[in-house]
Structure 1
Amino acid sequence: MVEAVLCDIDGTLVESNWLHAAAWKDAFEVAGINLDIETIRRQIGKGGDQLIPVFVPFWRRRILEEPLETYRKLLFRTQYLDHVHPFANTRELFHRFKKAGIRTALASSASKEELETYKALTRISDLVDVSITADDVNHSKPRPDVFEAALHQLRSSPAHALALGDTPWDAESAGKIGVRTIGVTTGGWTSQELYDAGCIEVYKDISELFENFDRSAFMTLSLTVKRKVPYPIGA
């Protein structure tokens, strides 16, 4: 049975992906890098250490990476964070995890400061067993560090855990440690894109997952039977 869930936050539990994309767009423009917001949005879910190299050549990263990340964090905190809102039924879903005996970890590429804000917005602080952010590991998603650290702190194993996320980067990250992923489309990706990335189920949003929880993989998937883990994209 499923014993643990490794849960992403941005775009999964809170509406924030476009706000993060806007903050990155503003930061890149100051550095003379002009990008379409949708192009950036498709990289959201990665931390700065993985996102910046997509748009900044190696020879400029030594100079730009740290100030870009610092300025982006400042922009997001001062101009965008107040506009983040939680998705409906997030607290109810975490109550359902508890009722089912599923231990919960928040596993995010967000900063610790952002995470604490999100926990307050979603009112799930008392329902979360473990919290891991990009500040706690060497590499953010789609590297496996965040999910791996969360799994370790929950004292669980890939065979008894599922990830919950909104981007292909979540599925890729989880897949690298043998954890399967349930997706939601609230991050801007289509169901097909999430299935192609390796998700075993995809829901419209947290509310739909909550409403169908008893029929979801959290309750029906027999993890005692070894199944082939979806091949992670980009591996």
Structure 2
Amino acid sequence: MPKAAIFDIDGTLVDSVDLHARSWQETFAKFGHAVTFEQARSQIGKGGDQLLPVFLSQTEQDDHGEEMEEWRGQLFKSEYMQLVRPFSTVPELLRRIRDAGLKVAAATSAKKSELEIYLEIAGITDLVDVATSSEDAEQSKPAPDIFQVALKKLGLDGADAVAIGDTPYDAQAAGKAGIPTIGVLCGGFTETDLREGGCIAVYPGPGALLACFDASPLGR
């Protein structure tokens, strides 16, 4: 039996991936870069430090990368955050996990201020024992830093936890920290994407994971 479940947030517990992609697309256009919605969406799950190098040269990053990240953050908070909605049965899933004796952690590439709002939106602020955000890590996903910080806060080794995420970047980051990952399809990546990223099991979303809890890697 694992001792903790470590959740990604965006696309896993709250429906925000398309909103992040739109805000990034708008930001790239603002700064003169032609990036499509689909291109931006394919990188959601990474923090800005990992996303920007996909589309910008090092010179462009040095020139206006930091300004872009700040502008995108403000845009998301002012225009898109209010549109974020939770996926169904998220509180019920976390309660089931806690009833099974596991700790619950949140590990996200989002900023701490965003994380706190997401937990409120999902109705799980009181159900999360440990939370880590991009401010806790030198590099965001798919680097393992955020998961390593979560493990340190939990006082556990990677093999004692299970990660739950919606992107291959979650699985890659968790895998580097020695944590097996359950994938969920509600963030928009395919089962093939998730399994190739390293997921050991894949479910449609939080509700399906709850329904199959006893047979899942969380309940074994």
TM-score with structure 1 setting the length: 0.92
Structure 1 residue 169 corresponds to structure 2 residue 169: yes
Which residues of 2 match residues 60-209 of structure 1 at below 5 A? Answer: 60-209=60-209
Structure 1 residue 11 corresponds to structure 2 residue 14: no
d(CA) in 2 for partners of 1:32, 1:159: 45
CA-CA distance at 1:21 after TM superposition: 0.5
- The residue number in structure 2 matching 1:52 is 52
- The residue number in structure 2 matching 1:42 is 42
Matched residue SS, 1:140: coil
- The residue number in structure 2 matching 1:218 is 218
- Which segments of structure 1 move beyond 3 Å, counting only runs of 4 or more? none
- Deviation per residue, 1:6-43 (Å, 9 max, x gap): 11000000000010000001111011101110111110
% identity of equivalent residues? 45
d(CA) in 2 for partners of 1:34, 1:74: 20
CA-CA distance at 1:129 after TM superposition: 0.5
CA-CA distance at 1:84 after TM superposition: 0.3
Matched residue SS, 1:131: strand
Report the AA paired with residue 126 of structure 1: D
d(CA) in 2 for partners of 1:87, 1:132: 21
Aligned residues: 220
CA-CA distance at 1:92 after TM superposition: 0.3
d(CA) in 1 for partners of 2:119, 2:189: 24
d(CA) in 1 for partners of 2:94, 2:133: 19
d(CA) in 2 for partners of 1:18, 1:64: 24
d(CA) in 2 for partners of 1:106, 1:87: 15
- Deviation per residue, 1:110-147 (Å, 9 max, x gap): 11111111111111111110010001111110100000
CA-CA distance at 1:167 after TM superposition: 0.1
d(CA) in 1 for partners of 2:168, 2:64: 26
Report the AA paired with residue 141 of structure 2: K
- Deviation per residue, 1:185-216 (Å, 9 max, x gap): 11110111111111000000110001111111
CA-CA distance at 1:159 after TM superposition: 1.4
Alignment RMSD (CA, Å): 0.7
- Deviation per residue, 1:82-112 (Å, 9 max, x gap): 0000000000011011101111110000111
d(CA) in 2 for partners of 1:169, 1:159: 19
- The residue number in structure 2 matching 1:32 is 32
CA-CA distance at 1:53 after TM superposition: 0.6
